[in-house]
Structure 1
Amino acid sequence: MRHSRTTPVLAGLAATALLLSGCAAAGGGAAGEDTAQGTLRVVASTNVYGDVARSIGGDRVEVTSIIDRMAQDPHSYEASARDKLAVSKADLVLENGGGYDTFMHTLADDTGVDHNNIITAVDLSPLPGAQDGAHTAASTDTDDGGAGQDAGHDGHSHGQDDHAGHDHGGFNEHVWYDLATMAQVADAIAGKLSALDPDQADTYKANAEQFHAGLDKLGAEADEVAGSADGAAVAATDPVPLHLFDALGLENKTPEDFMEAAEEGNDAAPQALKAAEDLVTGGSVRFLAYNEQTEGPQTQRLRLLAEKAGIAVVNFTETLPEGQDYLGWMSGNLHAVEKALRG
């Protein structure tokens, strides 16, 4: 399993018990009470999903994102008493799934959150292999998931047929880099919020339409980049942006063992490291995709070698940088790739 790079200390069990007294039995919040006060409580594993929830719910939702800083690692995050309290009061819980943020489903189970009110992105993803990669205690309820899509847009594809899907030792769980998956997530959020707050269903549907319009714009930007990419070969320090690269028709040449080691916070074997270094020094790739959130001595060295060789370095992150929203963030990623390809 992945090793911690920056892991908050788990608060004492006694503190957890005190914080949760009187609220755990609520089984995931009192939706009626929250709606009467004008807000629903949404808790997301990362600020990526928190931002999408805010886009759909607007001022009708109070969003808490447990992972909201680049220094935090969702793979190995240890939940605090504050996190457990937030989830215990949630009307809706959002997680990535696929083994990425297992702490979230554990929190939901421990606090009795209704599984019908948990949205798991991997379970909704149309990417090949997503269902095999689903790593959750329970998937979103089929009927409610369908309602979420009814509130959205069956006609939108957002490029979901364009993904070959890389198999880096299993399904690549970083599905928020896939626009078609995020379309499904937005629809599911709209459906769940509408079920919890039916008087505002039209608002949630309209907001989902607006989010889809933003995804359509991103899809058009991606098509432009793909048209000029011409199947270019690239390297990456870990698999975070690879679904986006699939959509752009880019070919990742990085040794799988190197990326896996970097993602887990480990050193790659000498053979894998040498292959990665030869890749960026040999001039066969157009740019190096670099995840600062998983950097270590080996990835830092790879970046240095790329820069010395005149290979562009494009930074990618797992969570939203401060002050950005999902749509703007993805647009910035596309522009950065386009700039690197232009050389």
Structure 2
Amino acid sequence: MHHLRSSAIARIIRRHSTALTGICLAAMMGQARAAGPIRAVGIENEYANVIQQIGGRYVTAGAIESNPNTDPHTFEASPEVARQIATAALIVENGVGYDGWADKIIAASPNPHRVVINVQRLLGLPNATPNPHLWYDPTTMPRVAQAVAAALGRMAPGHAAYFKANVAQFDRSLQPWYAAIAAFKAKHDGTPVAVTEPVGDYMLQAVGADIKTPFSLQAAIMNGTDPSPQDVATQNALFNRHAVKVFVYNQQVTDPLTASFLDLARKNHIPVVGVYETMPTPGYTYQSWMLAEVQALQRAVTAGVSTRSLLGAAGQRP
């Protein structure tokens, strides 16, 4: 899923393998000379945000995929991305094929002291996991935060208690999101929804929503292939027959097909909620972003209000 084109990766590796090795060696030498902040990278900015929350003043966390106005599926690495990865002491990647291009760049800049946290492996998920958007699962980030704190504690043992305390604070800060999930499920369990892709499916399942869109259609749109005419007809019928109360779509990826679904939802006065694959910035943390998504879903169900963007205009009737 979401694979970077292999030819593009090959060109990057061939052109920059020597430079990457040099960058890695320089980074190791620099770290030996100076005890500055630990350099970390979250391949997706939601992971970078959590790294920074746990690492605090002892960590500088950068993100590779961070633009909520672009399609992460079409991301292409660059020499600057390779440099960021090569100089990082800690990397958090999603796995499940979502950011597999990063593994190739990591392998081209070997560093025995680097720690790579692959969230798929951390959660014990198989490669065939159909939905790679793991950060929408309410159980994911607490595990990531703990793993980050453990890795940082090994790198900087003198600050291990600080990192552990930040994990406790992070867990507490998730409670408003969890409370919103529980409140929605208590009042609106079984709410029928349509989606374009499985981006927010883990969260929708947590709130008790009934996802009516065939997963085969979701997977086809996610992977950039043509869904079957039967699946498209099923999706269209959900709108035309008012069989769903909300339409949840990937705000970062629209094409003529998803635009036609949006148009049908509007014509049938079905509110829409835009979800993101990368954390909207500025103004959000991981936990405030997730809470905002549930609140948008709540507004859609209770007041028929659409939220297409968390970056500005929100709250429109379809």
What amino acid is the match of 2:102? Answer: M
Which residue pairs with 1:20 in the alignment? Answer: 20
How far apart are the structure 2 equivalents of 1:44 and 1:239?
Answer: 22
How do 1:1-343 and structure 2 match up within 5 A? 2=2, 16-17=16-17, 19-20=19-20, 22-25=22-25, 29=28, 32-33=31-32, 36-114=34-112, 117-125=115-123, 131-133=125-127, 170-323=129-282, 324-342=284-302, 343=304
Compare 67-76 and 324-333 and name the one that shifted more. 67-76
The runs of 5 or more residues in structure 1 that have no matched partner are 135-169
Structure 1's 297 and 100: CA in aligned 2 closer, same or farther, altered over 3 A?
same
TM-score scaled to structure 2, two decimals? Answer: 0.86
Is the 1:240–1:291 contact (alpha carbons within 8 Å) kept by the matching residues of 2?
yes
TM-score scaled to structure 1, two decimals? Answer: 0.80
How far apart are the structure 2 equivalents of 1:31 and 1:218?
Answer: 40
Structure 1's 12 and 181: CA in aligned 2 closer, same or farther, altered over 3 A?
closer
Is the 1:190–1:204 contact (alpha carbons within 8 Å) kept by the matching residues of 2?
yes
1:93-145: per-residue Cα shift (whole Å, max 9, x none)?
110001111012222112114487111112223xxxx52237xxxxxxxxxxx
Structure 1's 51 and 277: CA in aligned 2 closer, same or farther, altered over 3 A?
same
How far apart are the structure 2 equivalents of 1:10 and 1:325?
Answer: 34
Is the 2:21–2:109 contact (alpha carbons within 8 Å) kept by the matching residues of 1?
no
How far apart are the structure 2 equivalents of 1:180 and 1:14?
Answer: 39
How far apart are the structure 2 equivalents of 1:75 and 1:31?
Answer: 34
Structure 1's 265 and 122: CA in aligned 2 closer, same or farther, altered over 3 A?
same
1:213-265: per-residue Cα shift (whole Å, max 9, x none)?
01223111210111111211111010010000111111100022221121123
Compare 254-263 and 52-61 and name the one that shifted more. 254-263
Is the 2:46–2:278 contact (alpha carbons within 8 Å) kept by the matching residues of 1?
yes
How far apart are the structure 2 equivalents of 1:69 and 1:114?
Answer: 31
CA RMSD in angstroms comes to: 2.5
SS of 1:330 mapped into structure 2:
helix
The runs of 5 or more residues in structure 2 that have no matched partner are 305-318
Number of residue pairs aligned between Structure 1 and Structure 2: 300
How far apart are the structure 2 equivalents of 1:4 and 1:17?
Answer: 18
SS of 2:91 mapped into structure 1:
strand
How far apart are the structure 1 equivalents of 2:38 and 2:249?
Answer: 37
Give how far 1:70 is off: 2.4
Structure 1's 38 and 2: CA in aligned 2 closer, same or farther, altered over 3 A?
closer
How far apart are the structure 2 equivalents of 1:212 and 1:172?
Answer: 24
How far apart are the structure 2 equivalents of 1:338 and 1:41?
Answer: 38
How far apart are the structure 1 equivalents of 2:190 and 2:178?
Answer: 17
